[in-house]
Structure 1
Amino acid sequence: MADTFLKLTVTLLLSFGIITEGQDVKDRYYPRYHLAPPYGWMNDPNGFSVFNNEYHLFYQHNPNSSFTSTVVHWGHAKSPDLVHWEHLPIALYPDQWYDAGGVFSGSTLVENDTMHVFYTGNINLEGQTPSTANKQAYATSTDGVTFTKYAGNPIIPAEDRQPNIRDPKVWKHGDTYYMVLGNSYNNDTLGRVLLYSSTDKISWKEESILDQSNGTMGYMWECPDFFELGGKFVLLFSPQGVAAEGDKYQNLYQTGYILGDFDYSTHKFTPTSEFKELDHGHDVYATQTVLDNDGRRIVVAWMDMWERNYPESNDGFTGLMTLPRELTLSSDGILIQKPVEGISRAKGRTLFPFKSYRHRQSRMYILRNKAGEINVHADGSEDLKLYIGSGPVQVSISYDADKGQVTLDRGGTDGIRRTEWKPDGQLKWRIFVDASSIELFCGEGEVTFTSRFFPEGPVEVRLAQQSRAEHVSVHEIQRTVPHGGYYNKHWCFLCHIG
């Protein structure tokens, strides 16, 4: 009954011109088991949290266009297991003077059955220099769906650091709340992360500069996150303006981490490692983590990159999230990333190889719905190459045993990403394909590659003719994310006006 009423309401609103019918979201590149927007634009993950035993993930969202972020909102989805997702109504709209230019990134702290949201409000200052200003804002929710913005916003004016101070990540230690903010200083030439503290979540005091660029690490540090893991503190962030060095830092902007020691009494962070890239593919940016009820540190990232013109925009949506990954710290100071265990419950049938008439000794598997998991075990002392693609759209993943290197090549301009990795004995790859994305986990997850690709038809998986593997298995993965489109778009619209 409710569904029929909704459809009739939408039809009436369309007939009177109160709303207009937007472009349908096509399915050819829309993910089957990665979270993507129901329509429009998606970028940075926000407010990653656990509320009422469900995972909530917000994200930067433009509901009005799939081609640009422009004035962003907070999109919203929830999941019982980080695999099966449900789209929820837009959580935060740019409807106040301090966020009229966009509800920028932030985080959520859950306390006393309430969601406490901290975000950056953006203000566009036309004809002025600088042309934008950032304000930190606060909102709450007791039902996890509707949010009330604090009447006293903004909570940190930060007049001396506008316009580039943003992306608050908040946590509690003892009786004190802490916040890290990304910042650009020295006339927007050097990036840094600032640390604040509060006893009430409203009044904040700057405590220290957690870390800052030495001149080689970019002009702006976005989306900072700070947490303890395996006896070390991890400063995870996305620096902008880092120059490429050989195979490193090949993307427009980077995402990575610095390990160190931190003293809550002095608020001093002492780095014990250099900056390390979190992922070596084309499309990981703006990470955010949550410590869940099982004590796992889970990270998710935007699986896209600024200034790329991917064809999905023409299909009514842009952007998706990586698989949520559990983080652990290795004994040699490397962040290990493993897909959350729940993904195994989405597995479909096991595929059996087809004979290839071009290469009689090769084995080929066909993912007809372009969604699956591939597991490869091979001798770590031998070269290996695997192809994934459809027709002219091919991605190769290869291992060079002599050089100890893994390469992902999706073809075209800027197609190659490469890094050093040498397996300890057997080579193990775990690969996830989902309509327009590939995620590669090497070994135990000490090296990952995340990249987009855009196959038109069913995806073929095959080893190169001269490659040998001890084990290859391919499983389909079922749809766990509802396909976006017209119905979801107007359902969210009606929830807002209702």
Structure 2
Amino acid sequence: MTATFLKIPIIFLLYLLGAHGQEVKDRYYPRYHLAPPIGWMNDPNGFCVYNNEYHLFYQHNPNSSLTSTLVHWGHAKSPDLVSWEHLPIAMYPDQSYDAGGVFSGSALVENDTMHIYYTGNVILEGQTPDHTNRQAYAISTDGVTFTKYAGNPIIPGDDRQPNFRDPKVWKHEDTYYMVLGNSYNNDSLGRILLYSSTDKVNWIEVSILDQSNGSLGYMWECPDFFELDGKYVLLFSPQGVAAQGDKYKNLYQTGYILGDFDYSTLKFTPTSEFKELDHGHDVYATQTLLDNRGRRIVIAWFDMWDQNYPERYDGFTGIMTLPRELKLSSDGTIIQKPVEEMSRAEGRNLIPGRGRRGSSRTYTLRNKAGEIKVRADASNNLKLYIESGSVRVTLSYDATNGQVTLDRGGTDGVRRTEWKPSGQLKWRIFVDASSIELFCGEGEVTFSSRFFPDGPITVRLGQLSRAEHVSVHEIVRTVPHGGQDHERWHVCVGG
């Protein structure tokens, strides 16, 4: 079948500050994590390299920071995964198959063309179920304007089992593959479906990669499937997993299953249990890319559903995690490290030298943005405080029990997991206006949590803690504040 496309008329929509009734305040707005220029942001979409630049799309409501409501695809690009530029909105919910929202999806770049696969949400008023999901296709030949395929939807879906979304597409040899998240058995069990195509448009279901046995939730969202250091990784976000002690304490989870995969049989054989990717409060809906250097890089929505954080009253909601390079350890743990390009954003070194027991020195991040590195003897306990007025986040290591904890205070403030470093304790911590990312050791354990300071941010060791080395670097602003470049961004060009 020859692909034909429906060209959407050019739409110029000027969203002035007065029209929104919102002003994006700077107090919680990140300095070097990607956030929306205004309004709502959630799942990362279409993470790809196009014309030697990184492109990232995201679920976006440009009209309100209070709710996702009718999502569009927001769009940004970067030459280096550090400095980001906002681009016009990429896709609007303007067709019968996506009028209820342009939901999550992915990008495939081939022959100077960006191929977009996404889920169109359809509201079924007065019916049960009250919505359904369709898979749709669009292309761009300039990386900015997008044309939806005239034959959409390319996969209609089943209205009786409506939760069927978030396509991630890749090519292997001469065949294209797509994974889709799904809820089946009357929305009681989650699973990942595998589809294949020879022409990027006509798709057939070929396999069920994996599915819940009842303990791993009722819906598996945002699936990703890729090879990493000799193993295949099924990365996804299950909903409806019950907490087990310190595990699975967030409303929804994000994690992975390792296994073996055979392209001739299209069978995935798990070799590990489900493992949480991150142990903080606020990681969901991951997406990866394989870049031009052969790196597998992941990024996630740095937020969580139903949190109602105070940033929503500042004209924006949601940020992205730092892009992280993934590796696989010998014991089957995914190692995450901030991409090496982050060093380009380093500013002034605030703390040369050594920390000492009982030190009362406090180090202030002038612009609420910095990187902290700590080395210490792993046989001793350690505490580090990140504070702002009445707000405190405590990072602690319990040498006796082999545990690391992030405590941001308040209700449900504690996140904890087992971690026993071999030899020396190493922490790398990124603070950015309203977020903290902690990387333990080589990146085998990470915590990503939001917090909301009420003034300048300071850093200090606990009174009884001893560190062999502590260093703090400021980090310069690499993402324009939402109020900057406002008029240019809000001239929104449709495909």
Shorter-normalised TM range: over 0.9
Pairing partner for 1:436 from 415, 434, 437? 434
Match of 1:34 in 2: 33
For residues 397-476 of structure 1, what are the structure 2 equivalents within 5 Å?
397-476=395-474
1:187-233 CA distances to partner (integer Å, 9 max, x unpaired)?
Answer: 00000000000000110010010000010000000000000001000
Could you tell me whether the CA contact under 8 Å between 2:145 and 2:494 is conserved in 1? Answer: no
Change (3 A) 1:184 1:21: closer
1:376 matched to 2:374? The reply is yes
Match of 2:174 in 1: 175
The one-letter code sitting in structure 2 at the alignment partner of 1:432 is F
Match of 1:61 in 2: 60
Could you tell me whether the CA contact under 8 Å between 1:437 and 1:452 is conserved in 2? Answer: yes
Match of 2:329 in 1: 330
Match of 1:5 in 2: none
1:8-34 CA distances to partner (integer Å, 9 max, x unpaired)?
Answer: x999x97xx9x8253110000000000
Greater RCO, CA 8 A, separation 6+: 2
Shift of 1:126: 1.4
1:99-151 CA distances to partner (integer Å, 9 max, x unpaired)?
Answer: 00000000000000000000000011111100011000000000000000000
Could you tell me whether the CA contact under 8 Å between 1:353 and 1:365 is conserved in 2? Answer: no
Match of 2:489 in 1: 492
What is the CA–CA distance in structure 1 between the aligned matches of 2:458 and 2:490, rounded to whole Å?
39
What is the CA–CA distance in structure 2 between the aligned matches of 1:55 and 1:274, rounded to whole Å?
32
Pairing partner for 2:392 from 386, 391, 394? 394
* Partner SS for 1:20: helix
* Partner SS for 1:375: strand
CA root-mean-square deviation: 1.9
What is the CA–CA distance in structure 1 between the aligned matches of 2:402 and 2:491, rounded to whole Å?
55
* Partner SS for 1:314: helix
What is the CA–CA distance in structure 1 between the aligned matches of 2:402 and 2:381, rounded to whole Å?
10
1:202 matched to 2:180? The reply is no
What is the CA–CA distance in structure 1 between the aligned matches of 2:352 and 2:390, rounded to whole Å?
21
What is the CA–CA distance in structure 1 between the aligned matches of 2:92 and 2:52, rounded to whole Å?
25
For residues 201-350 of structure 1, what are the structure 2 equivalents within 5 Å?
201-350=200-349
* Partner SS for 1:181: strand
Match of 1:6 in 2: none
What is the CA–CA distance in structure 1 between the aligned matches of 2:92 and 2:13, rounded to whole Å?
21
What is the CA–CA distance in structure 2 between the aligned matches of 1:311 and 1:415, rounded to whole Å?
16
For residues 4-153 of structure 1, what are the structure 2 equivalents within 5 Å?
20=19, 22-153=21-152
Could you tell me whether the CA contact under 8 Å between 1:430 and 1:442 is conserved in 2? Answer: yes
What is the CA–CA distance in structure 2 between the aligned matches of 1:161 and 1:59, rounded to whole Å?
28
* Partner SS for 2:56: strand
Could you tell me whether the CA contact under 8 Å between 1:24 and 1:486 is conserved in 2? Answer: no
The one-letter code sitting in structure 2 at the alignment partner of 1:493 is H
What is the CA–CA distance in structure 1 between the aligned matches of 2:430 and 2:32, rounded to whole Å?
10
Match of 2:9 in 1: none
1:325-360 CA distances to partner (integer Å, 9 max, x unpaired)?
Answer: 000000000000000011111000011389x9xx96
Could you tell me whether the CA contact under 8 Å between 2:145 and 2:493 is conserved in 1? Answer: no
Instruction: Extract structure 1 runs of 4+ deviating beyond 3 A.
Output: none
Normalised to the residue count of structure 1, the TM-score between the two structures is 0.94
What is the CA–CA distance in structure 2 between the aligned matches of 1:216 and 1:191, rounded to whole Å?
10
Could you tell me whether the CA contact under 8 Å between 1:134 and 1:162 is conserved in 2? Answer: no
The one-letter code sitting in structure 1 at the alignment partner of 2:156 is P
What is the CA–CA distance in structure 1 between the aligned matches of 2:243 and 2:279, rounded to whole Å?
13
What is the CA–CA distance in structure 2 between the aligned matches of 1:143 and 1:105, rounded to whole Å?
21
Change (3 A) 1:234 1:81: same
The one-letter code sitting in structure 2 at the alignment partner of 1:439 is E
Match of 1:483 in 2: 481
What is the CA–CA distance in structure 2 between the aligned matches of 1:368 and 1:43, rounded to whole Å?
28
Match of 1:3 in 2: none
Shift of 1:456: 1.9
The one-letter code sitting in structure 2 at the alignment partner of 1:185 is Y
What is the CA–CA distance in structure 1 between the aligned matches of 2:337 and 2:201, rounded to whole Å?
36
What is the CA–CA distance in structure 2 between the aligned matches of 1:487 and 1:373, rounded to whole Å?
27
What is the CA–CA distance in structure 2 between the aligned matches of 1:339 and 1:352, rounded to whole Å?
21
Shift of 1:363: 2.5
Change (3 A) 1:458 1:374: same
* Partner SS for 1:363: coil
Shift of 1:161: 5.6
Could you tell me whether the CA contact under 8 Å between 2:13 and 2:492 is conserved in 1? Answer: no
Q: Structure 2 unaligned runs (5+)? A: 1-11
What is the CA–CA distance in structure 2 between the aligned matches of 1:486 and 1:72, rounded to whole Å?
23
Could you tell me whether the CA contact under 8 Å between 1:122 and 1:133 is conserved in 2? Answer: yes
Q: Structure 1 unaligned runs (5+)? A: 1-8
Could you tell me whether the CA contact under 8 Å between 2:390 and 2:454 is conserved in 1? Answer: no
The one-letter code sitting in structure 2 at the alignment partner of 1:456 is D
